[in-house]
Structure 1
């Protein structure tokens, strides 16, 4: 038996793999934001996610050339990649749960689950964008278009797919369903209230009363529709809001979240390390709505007889 010759990649396939892998990686980088949530951490957290994105994009990029060369075994890497991404989600979740006791206030399991799902989904974004670019460029090769047209077509379709998936997967924030404003804190003896909403009766010392009165800051979150009260009153959602507020400004000692059952409002009160009212309002408004609290109110509407 003669020896098999070296496998030579054509120029078209080489460009296909490079462009598709690059498009998938760039798509992931564009949604990799290090903002007030400070997650993923910088720089190690960012490096981990960028490398995972490159791996996901590379798998999507080589899938089409592998099928074209009848190397169907290589396609099984897609299934392995999906399992790997699920393991990434599990690892992210376990890591964040392990850090709960080190934070000013816990994120809560609902928030952690949402973060883990988001980062798993963004790896799929890289894979799908790369695969879309690869399929487009392969179609351009079949039509015998020039290299320049192939590259432009791959970039164009990859960009369109990225825009579609980004808009589809973009979630809402607290600011989309509620008005957020500063509120006045009232301290009477050991009791603390905010605009008539009872917060705590644990201010038992003069030092505690003075600290809350002088340094405390409170925010009122008012739902713009009655239905939105369901999401805002969810314990996991309120913990997420309080976590983002304390994570951004720090907490000297006290932090509370309370519900107003009559008007549906939510109160956030804390004594921050850094007093910055504008930043506090911004961080509360930008806290994401958790997937576990989202409801489709259309299905709650009564059905008309005969429908």
Structure 2
């Protein structure tokens, strides 16, 4: 009785898996950068997310060849991947919560939830790019247009899907809905104000008054349209802005965020460790609008305004 030997993967299917997995991984790497948020941090954060991206891309790459060879059991890995990516979100959330007490100012639950969802979604990003490349390459194999056209088609498809998804998933930032500028701090006894808006009465000592007046920085964030106040006045959004500012420049002492009910503007004030006004303005403008404030239809559909 002769046994049946193991199936040998064809050259075409091997290239499908290699190219699709590579495109999915590269797509994830392109959106994985250490930017003004400094998260994930180098090098462990990079390694963790690149490995997860490769796993996600590999699952997407082998799905179509598995179906073609009637190996439907392999497709169940897609369901396992979804569960695994949900665990990634949970792990990211718990990790960031554990770091809250070590930061200059807390991120806040709204920002943590947004970051965790983003990293879960980016694993699907890698999977979808790989799956799309794999599907197109398998179609080319069926048409028998040759290996070169098959590989080129897979790369073009992966690049196209990457551009579409990255454009679709790109969110707005504070700079898209508000003008951001530096403002002068006024210290009158124990009271601190910025352009006539009361900020705090905690400057009780002479040293505190001198530190805030000489070293403090204040940023005024003015919504370009009245309904943008809905997003900017959100407590979680203001905490996110203050967190990014203090995370970038450090906080020697004191940090405040206040909203002016009459004008709708937001004021951020703190004493930085490193004074860099240009970087401060940039980081405030680039702070993302949180998922929790995007429930307003107006914010989602409004035209991006220039600074």
Normalised to the residue count of structure 1, the TM-score between the two structures is 0.96
Where 1:199 maps in the other structure, the secondary structure is strand
2:81 counterpart residue number: 81
1:304 counterpart residue number: none
- What is the correspondence of 1:1-307 to structure 2 with a 5 Å cutoff? 1-294=1-294, 295-297=296-298
| Mapped contact 2:251–2:272 kept (Cα < 8 A) | yes
Q: Distance in 1 between matches of 2:4 and 2:167?
A: 48
Q: Distance in 2 between matches of 1:145 and 1:59?
A: 25
Where 2:253 maps in the other structure, the secondary structure is coil
Cα deviation, residue 158, structure 1: 1.0
Where 1:254 maps in the other structure, the secondary structure is strand
Cα deviation, residue 26, structure 1: 0.4
Change (3 A) 1:157 1:98: same
Where 1:141 maps in the other structure, the secondary structure is helix
Cα deviation, residue 7, structure 1: 1.9
Q: Distance in 1 between matches of 2:122 and 2:251?
A: 32
Q: Deviations over 1:224-264 (max 9, x none)?
A: 00010110000000000000000000011100000000000
Change (3 A) 1:206 1:299: closer
Computed over aligned residues only, the root mean square deviation of the Cα atoms, in angstroms, reads 1.2
Q: Distance in 2 between matches of 1:299 and 1:129?
A: 26
What 5-or-longer segments of structure 1 have no aligned partner? Answer: 301-307
Cα deviation, residue 299, structure 1: 11
Change (3 A) 1:280 1:298: closer
Change (3 A) 1:21 1:108: same
Cα deviation, residue 150, structure 1: 0.3
Cα deviation, residue 293, structure 1: 0.3
Cα deviation, residue 4, structure 1: 2.5
| Mapped contact 2:228–2:299 kept (Cα < 8 A) | no
| Mapped contact 2:197–2:260 kept (Cα < 8 A) | yes
Q: Distance in 2 between matches of 1:152 and 1:252?
A: 54
Cα deviation, residue 33, structure 1: 1.2
Cα deviation, residue 298, structure 1: 8.8
Q: Distance in 2 between matches of 1:131 and 1:9?
A: 18
What 5-or-longer segments of structure 2 have no aligned partner? Answer: 302-307
Change (3 A) 1:298 1:125: closer
Where 1:106 maps in the other structure, the secondary structure is coil
Q: Distance in 1 between matches of 2:284 and 2:25?
A: 31
| Mapped contact 2:183–2:220 kept (Cα < 8 A) | yes
Displacement over 4 Å in runs of 4+: none
Normalised to the residue count of structure 2, the TM-score between the two structures is 0.96
Cα deviation, residue 297, structure 1: 2.4
Q: Distance in 1 between matches of 2:2 and 2:280?
A: 72
